[in-house]
Structure 1
Amino acid sequence: MWGFLDNLKIQTRIYLVAFLPLLGLAVFSGVVIYNQNDTRVKMARFQEVAAAIPEISGLVHELQKERGNSAGFIGARGKGQFGDMLAAQRQATNVALSGFNARVEQLAITDGGEQFADYVQQAKKLLARLPDRRNQVDELALSVGEMAQFYTVTIARLLDSIAATTAFNAEPATVKMINGYIAFLQAKERAGLERAMGSNGFGSGAFAPAIHRRFIALIAEQDAFLSIFRANATADQLAYYQQTVTGPRIEAVAAMRKTAIDSKYGGDTGAISGPQWFETITAKINLLKQVEDRLAADILAISKAAGKANTQLLIATAGFIAILLGVIFFACRMMGTRLTAPLAVLWQNMRALADGDHSVEIAGTDRRDEIGDMARSVLIFRDAAVENQKLATARVREQEVKNQRTEQIAELCRLFERNAEESLESFVHASSELRASADRMRVSADHSQGKSAAVASAAQQASSNVQSVAQASEELARSIGAVGQHVDQSTAISGNAITEAKRASDTINKLSDAAQKIGAVLALIQDIAEQTNLLALNATIEAARAGEAGKGFAVVATEVKNLATQTANATEEISHQMDGMQSVTDETVKVISAIQEIIDQIGENAHSIADAVGTQRMSTLEISENARQVAVGTSQVTENISGVSDAILETGAVAEQVFGAADALNGQSEKLRAEVANFLRDLKAA
């Protein structure tokens, strides 16, 4: 139901929250202003109507005097001074009536003044019959009661219209003053009736019972209305009344009252005449008229003051409400601005962080409200982002270092692979040459064995035939020639064996050098494996420091460490194999050196045989003479041939050993090639 609020801005929500109270305040303010304005309008109407009160009360006063004169005129039966007094009073009444008519014509009676207007209209209708009543009084066609009733009803309607002015005013003080004023008017009206009743009684020389009772009742009514007046009048008004309505005339009226009351029905009224009574009580009524005018002036003044105060209150209230509404609106706007402005700044900060700007300053972190909590949370987020960026940069840097290290390792692997391949090729080639040389040396040894056997047989034959040397000199020459040829062949074979032994020695030396190079490369690989192991250990430590973010990197570091350990183990195994190969190579070098020495001895023996054959050739002619020497030489040849045969047999055995060592070396080289290939494959895979 309230989901639409989620789509409103915060400032709009604040205005919405304040709307209902503001609406209630506006309605309440409208009611207050309306009521005060209504009071102001009523006060203005009252002031307009109150301005007519002096004319109304003036007309009432003149009608009261005319009523009194008319009563005296009727009581005197048209005789005496009342005729002139009545005529003069009628003129004064006409003037007051003209003023009254002019004033009421100016009044614009609107809402709330219907009763006032009705009383005024009733009074005007009665006043329209005033000329007829005057004529009837002049003709003495009316009794005092009938005459007084007309004037009394007319005056009552006028007084009712004054009382109806309270409908225009709800101000308690003004209403109270009007009530006192109306009570005073009623008391004055009773005084006027008292004047009329007294004028009739004193004018006729005696009070009729009805007139007498009415006279006494009017005095009592005056006192009652004056009591009401005193209860509603202000202290100043009472003081003014007491100061005004006092003196000899008031005392004279009191004395005449006592005379009238004491005269009872038809009793003697003394020497008091009607005009005398009329003049005396009129003087009192005039004093009452002064108080009445003061009261009317007070009512008009207080109504004006109340109207002014009400207008000022209306303006002040409207101004206060307007200011209050403005302050509330301004407060809502300020509150919304104070709330949305930091949120907007915080949103901009978060947007900057989302765009990757981690250098932005987070505003509002020093606040103690929820916005401050949000700002501090954003600050923590920014710091975490900065730390993550640092970690990411460190990881990138580590990755770059790792890539560089991997590239270096790959380059070293390629270099090692190339050098190892070259060394292994040289090693294999040398082992192949060694094998071939050993094979050739074995063949040559077999051939030399055959030749040495032939030489031994020939030597034995020569020894057996030494007795027939002389006879077979030609055959000996041929045999010596054959021996010379065989010796030359043996010499050549020995020379070839010496050459091949030297070549085998050189090849073995090259193989030893290659093995040493491979050992150096293996040492380099060992160093690389140790450095890789250290790097993997450092990476594992850094990954442990990174916590959850470094778990994947820790796994990779562990794998690198394991591969480095395997590389070190493989390198160590290769090193052991190379050490074994180096030992075999050294042993082969020693064997070949021994073979070379034997072959050198064979060569020397061959040269000795050649020299001996030469000597035999040169001494063929002396064979006979030197038979003993030939026998000795033949024995020596037989012995030498036996040594050569033994040397040749030993050379064949050594050749077999060299051949086996070459095969073993070839197998080791193939195994080394496979180990190096596996090592390079594992290293590249890491």
Structure 2
Amino acid sequence: MFALLDRLPLKARTALALLCFVGFGIGLGLFTSSVAGSVAEGLPAGSDGRADLERLASIALWTPLIVAPIGVILQMSVWFSIVRVLRLNVAVIKAAAAGDLSPRMLVVGKDELGQMATAFNTMMGRFQETVAGIRRAVDEVTTSAGSLQRASGTMTAAADATAGELETVARSAARTSEEVGAIAEGTQQMRHAITEISANTSDVSRMTDDAVTGVSRASGNVTRLQDSSQEINEVLRTINAIAAQTNLLALNATIEAARAGEAGRGFAIVAGEVKELAQATATATEEIARRIEGIQHDTSETVDAVSGFSDIIGQIAAHQVTIAAAVEEQTATTGTMVDGAGLVSAGAEQISLAIGAVSSAADEVRGAAEETHRAVDDLTGTAARLHGLAAVFRS
């Protein structure tokens, strides 16, 4: 029965309580009047007790008519006070349903309605704080998303710039490797050429030694001719002229040998001219031989000339030693250059490998930045939707 009453609206329950109160008052009055009348009929007429009971019955009969309006007035006052509070609180609930979180219920007393209003106000306060926190969080997320978006854009631009610079460096490294390879090849050829020059220098040194030996023998022969005839003076002048030319050519040979141009080609040319002069000298000597026919004459001047030629050959030998030392030093330097070119080539190759690794890393950074940019876009969209949901509620 009480469960059925709980299902009725508040107005119906109030009206039912009013009817019950009025009915109870009328019933109580009628019952009292009936009981008093019945008791009065059993008493003698004109007695004081019967008169009192008749008055009581009359009063009991009029009592419901007096009590009922008073109950109605009291019930209506209670009704209007409850309905007023309920209407105010219903307006607050409707405002909250419309998204306005600022109104609060009117709390009257500590009964169920007051407890409900207090709980509702507490709930709305916490809900208002939650919505404000959501708005702040959405604003912070939006700000952070903007920062992340700018950072991802910067990362993407930096990765693109790094990739371009790495490509330029890679091309430079490739060109450097090619140039180093060409230098290494040229240095290797230089080493072979210097090796040949060194071998030719050794041959020239042996030839110079042989020339010194031959000059020594010629000097002995000329010494033995010191008793030759004075008739060969004219021929001796020719020999002296030839010796002077030989000295000049020998000096040129010394200069050419010192320069060591094109592996001693100049020295070979001078040696050829010396040979031709030697043939002319031989012809003159034959003429002298025919003229003196066994006459020995003092050939001291010839001895001096041969001695000077020996000195020239000695100078050539000394310069040849210097050339050999320079060639040896150049050989060592060339070897160092070849080794250095190999190291540079290996370093260029390692640089190319490192550039490849850095380029791969730059590609990964670019991919990560793009994924971050997409994630930030999704986060921005989510934040916008949350902001729209939070904007429904007004604080």
Q: Give, in whole Å, the separation in 2 of the partners of 1:620 and 1:355.
A: 121
1:368 match: secondary structure: coil
- Of 663, 668, 672, 2:349 maps to 663
Residues 589-641 of structure 1 show CA distances to partners (whole Å, capped at 9, x for unaligned) of: xxxxxxxxxxxxxxxx9xx6559979869988997975444444433333222
Superposition pairs of residues 515-526 of structure 1, within 5 angstroms:
none
Normalised to the residue count of structure 1, the TM-score between the two structures is 0.36
Give the deviation of 1:328 after TM superposition.
1.6
1:646 is aligned to 2:332? yes
Superposition pairs of residues 134-153 of structure 1, within 5 angstroms:
none
1:343 is aligned to 2:86? yes
Superposition pairs of residues 473-552 of structure 1, within 5 angstroms:
none
* Contact 1:350/1:378 (<8 A) preserved: no
2:110 match: secondary structure: coil
Q: Go from structure 1 to structure 2 and tell me whether the alpha carbon gap of 1:15 and 1:653 turns closer, same or farther (over 3 Å shift).
A: same
State the partner residue of 1:11. Answer: 11
1:420 is aligned to 2:179? no
State the partner residue of 1:394. Answer: 136
Superposition pairs of residues 57-456 of structure 1, within 5 angstroms:
175-176=45-46, 318=62, 321-364=64-107, 367-456=109-198
Superposition pairs of residues 34-73 of structure 1, within 5 angstroms:
none
Percent of aligned pairs with the same residue? 11
* Contact 1:442/1:656 (<8 A) preserved: yes
Q: Give, in whole Å, the separation in 2 of the partners of 1:341 and 1:428.
A: 86
State the partner residue of 1:67. Answer: none
Letter in 1 for 2:355: S
CA-atom RMSD in angstroms: 4.6
2:133 match: secondary structure: helix
Q: Which runs of 5+ in 1 are unaligned?
A: 39-168, 178-231, 233-308, 484-604
Q: Which runs of 5+ in 2 are unaligned?
A: 49-53, 215-245, 278-308, 373-395
Residues 279-329 of structure 1 show CA distances to partners (whole Å, capped at 9, x for unaligned) of: xxxxxxxxxxxxxxxxxxxxxxxxxxxxxx98xx68x965x6444322222
Aligned length: 291
The higher-RCO structure (CA 8 Å, 6+ apart) is 2
* Contact 1:10/1:336 (<8 A) preserved: no
Q: Give, in whole Å, the separation in 1 of the partners of 2:197 and 2:203.
A: 10
1:360 match: secondary structure: coil
In our comparison, the structure showing a higher alpha carbon Rg is 1
State the partner residue of 2:20. Answer: 20
Q: Go from structure 1 to structure 2 and tell me whether the alpha carbon gap of 1:618 and 1:465 turns closer, same or farther (over 3 Å shift).
A: closer
Normalised to the residue count of structure 2, the TM-score between the two structures is 0.59
Residues 92-148 of structure 1 show CA distances to partners (whole Å, capped at 9, x for unaligned) of: xxxxxxxxxxxxxxxxxxxxxxxxxxxxxxxxxxxxxxxxxxxxxxxxxxxxxxxxx
Residues 192-236 of structure 1 show CA distances to partners (whole Å, capped at 9, x for unaligned) of: xxxxxxxxxxxxxxxxxxxxxxxxxxxxxxxxxxxxxxxx9xxxx
Letter in 1 for 2:77: M
Letter in 1 for 2:189: H
* Contact 2:25/2:67 (<8 A) preserved: no
* Contact 2:198/2:328 (<8 A) preserved: yes
Give the deviation of 1:29 after TM superposition.
4.7
Q: Give, in whole Å, the separation in 1 of the partners of 2:271 and 2:13.
A: 144
Give the deviation of 1:13 after TM superposition.
0.9
Letter in 2 for 1:350: I
Q: Give, in whole Å, the separation in 1 of the partners of 2:41 and 2:2.
A: 48
* Contact 1:11/1:337 (<8 A) preserved: no
State the partner residue of 1:463. Answer: 205
